[in-house]
Amino acid sequence: MTKPAGNTNIAVFDSTLRDGAQAEGISFSVEDKIKITRALDELGVAYIEAGNPGSNPKDLEFFQRVKGINLKHAALTAFGSTRRPGVTPAEDDNIKNLVLAETPAVAIFGKSWDFHVTDIINTTLEENLAMIQDTMAYFKSLGKEVVYDAEHFFDGYKNNPEYAMATLQAAKTGGADWIVLCETNGGAFPQEVFDATALVVKEVGGKIGIHCHNDGGMAVANTIMAVEAGARQVQGTYVGFGERCGNVNLCTVIGNLQLKKRMQCLPDGKLQELTPTARYIAEVANISLNEREPFIGNSAFAHKGGMHIDGVHKNVRSFEHVDPEKIGNKRRFLMSEVAGRSTILNKIRKVNPNIRKDSEETRLVMQRLKELEHEGYQFEGAESSFELVIRKTLGKYKPFFTLDHFKIIDEQMPDGTHSSTAILKINVDGKEEVTAAEGNGPVNALDKALRKALEAFYPELKEVYLADYKVRVLDTRSATASRVRVLIESSDGRYVWSTVGVSGDIIEASWLALVDSMEYKLLKIIEEKASAYM
């Protein structure tokens, strides 16, 4: 028998690898699933629902491979349905596969909405009750912890309350350890969820859980309301992947319950892993996180409006509901025309600590920022380019190289082959360097040629690589003659920095961002060396 992890009083049941795998655009390899299992166990969730061995051979392979892994916190859980009508559990093929998964816990879903019984699986209401009870009893006889998922419980309760309650009683009689109320279609309202859950806690009793979907945009509120009504297991997925609009996002639920309701969901000291774990799982799933995601999003504590930034500088409580560090996220102040002086001042002070809010330099930088934003620049995602703008405006900048010229030739040959070549000539302290490179596209060719040229003078640049490249068309009205903004993210393995370039020509825009990236890195190398002697 498995207990909730550590001394938590809410059992977190993660279904990223099962319900999450039913999200559009998500397809986990067995390798991915093992990585995510380790990450979730490290975080300290109580249950990891890792797949449906009955319906999916890939999942069965996963369960075979995962047996070797020793989990610290989580009970590995296999998912499946109650027995088919008219057979015993032992005869049912899906159930046989569930047994083969050899997990300490199983999650079995059954029908609680009479309409689904009669119109979707086409059996009698009586047989459905027997299917639930028999299947629970069978898995208990095998010594497993059994979680009963009451599919569509809330729709069923609206349609036929007596029958919906009867399905829960059947699960209880069968010996289910947990009875989980599923808001499968995601359309319920918080008060409905609270009232129905409170009634189940009172009339059925035992350990109750909640499983919500987000079709109405209220999955988090519905889950919290169920917990307030007495539910003690919360099912969801990490970052909210799932069918249609997704399952409830466990990051948000955990953040709310543990920081505000003082109900422990993760073992001591694990809460600050919430954000890094979300980013890791998104990486493995190869999807980009929604920047505005509560608690863990990149923008969740990003302040842009001038009055907001001013307020947060005076007291963080003024515009933050929780301390970002508690969940491993961080506060950011965004550069923009709505940002106001104080933010910009902090950036200026990194270059020259003596400058004040009312200094002439501050005014000049503000003015330059407005001009550049008018041209289509945006420094929110390009802090490093903005530091260079400040240095240029304050005369604290000396270029590391100058471009003489570059030339790009992009050809489609008669035989259909395509090639991109870049030739360039730069000048470093009077020394010239001419290089050429072929690339997968013109920007890639230019990037390679510039590195080649600079590495002759600055070998440290060898470790720099481009981590991300984004293109935005700014004014689509003029179509292919429109201006583009190119954002580049570079890394040297230790740090990541972002730069931006804007032009009517995508190649020139890319060039500007590439140059900023190299210059910024060289600047940091010098600063590091300098500070080493201080």
Q: Does 182 bind its own copies (CB under 8 A)?
A: no
The footprint of its own copies on residues 492-521 (CB under 8 A) is 503-508, 510-511
Phi, psi values for residue 421, rounded to 5°? -130, 140
Q: What is the total count of residues that contact its own copies (CB under 8 A)?
A: 131
**Stretch in the footprint of its own copies (CB under 8 A) among 62-70, 332-340, 393-401, 518-526:** 332-340
65 in contact with its own copies (CB under 8 A): no
Q: Which is nearer to its own copies, 377 or 400 (CB)?
A: 377
- Determine the longest span between alpha carbons in the chain, in angstroms: 90
Nearer to its own copies, 2 or 520 (CB): 520
**What values do phi and psi take at 305, rounded to 5?**
-65, 135
Among 268, 438, 468, 527, binds its own copies (CB under 8 A): 468
Instruction: In whole angstroms, give the CA distance from residue 286 to residue 299.
Output: 19
Q: Which of residues 9-28 bind its own copies (CB under 8 A)?
A: 21-25, 27
Q: Which is nearer to its own copies, 148 or 295 (CB)?
A: 295
Distance in angstroms (rounded) separating the CA atoms of residues 473 and 310: 32
The one segment of 53-61, 127-135, 269-277, 493-501 that binds its own copies by CB under 8 A: 53-61
Determine how many CB atoms are found less than 10 A away from the CB of residue 308: 20
Shortest distance, position 376 Cβ to its own copies, whole Å: 9
**Residue 23 has which token pair?**
């999200």
- The percent helix, strand, coil of the chain (3-state, each to 5) is 45, 20, 35
Give the integer Cα–Cα distance in Å for 224 and 254: 10
Q: How far apart are CA 202 and CA 86, in angstroms?
A: 33
Nearer to its own copies, 116 or 232 (CB): 116
In degrees rounded to 5, what are phi and psi of residue 504? -75, -15
- Does residue 430 bind its own copies (CB under 8 A)? no
Tokens of 478: 């003029």
293 binds its own copies (CB under 8 A): yes
Which residue's CB is nearer to its own copies, number 270 or number 451? 451
As a whole number of angstroms, the distance between CA 508 and CA 486 comes to: 9
Is 362 an interacting residue with respect to its own copies (CB under 8 A)?
no
Return d(Cα 193, Cα 185) in angstroms, integer: 13
Instruction: Tell me whether residue 38 or residue 207 sits nearer to its own copies (CB atom).
Output: 38
What are the phi and psi torsion angles at 241 (to 5°)?
Answer: -60, 155
DSSP state of 480: G
412 binds its own copies (CB under 8 A): yes
- Of residues 177 and 516, the one with the C-beta less far from its own copies: 516
Q: What is the DSSP string of 122-172?
A: ---HHHHHHHHHHHHHHHHHTT-EEEEEEETHHHHHHH-HHHHHHHHHHHH
CA proximity to 301, closest of 314, 318, 285, 286: 318
Choose, by CB under 8 A, the member of 61, 195, 273, 410 that binds its own copies. 410
Residue choice 90, 120, 142, 526 for contact with its own copies (CB under 8 A): 120
Determine if 236 is a binding residue for its own copies (CB under 8 A): no
With contacts defined by CB under 8 A, name the span among 68-76, 140-148, 359-367, 439-447 that binds its own copies.
439-447
Comparison of 23 and 40: residue with beta carbon closer to its own copies: 23
Q: Is 457 an interacting residue with respect to its own copies (CB under 8 A)?
A: no
67 sits near its own copies (criterion: CB under 8 A)? no
* Interaction of residue 299 with its own copies, rule CB under 8 A: yes
Residue 254 makes contact with its own copies by CB under 8 A: no
Binding status of residue 124 toward its own copies by CB under 8 A: no
Q: Which two tokens stand for residue 126?
A: 């009586």
Among positions 197-216, residues that touch its own copies (CB under 8 A) are 214-216
Residue 266 in contact with residue 253, Cβ under 8 Å?
A: no
| Min CB(506)–its own copies separation in Å | 6
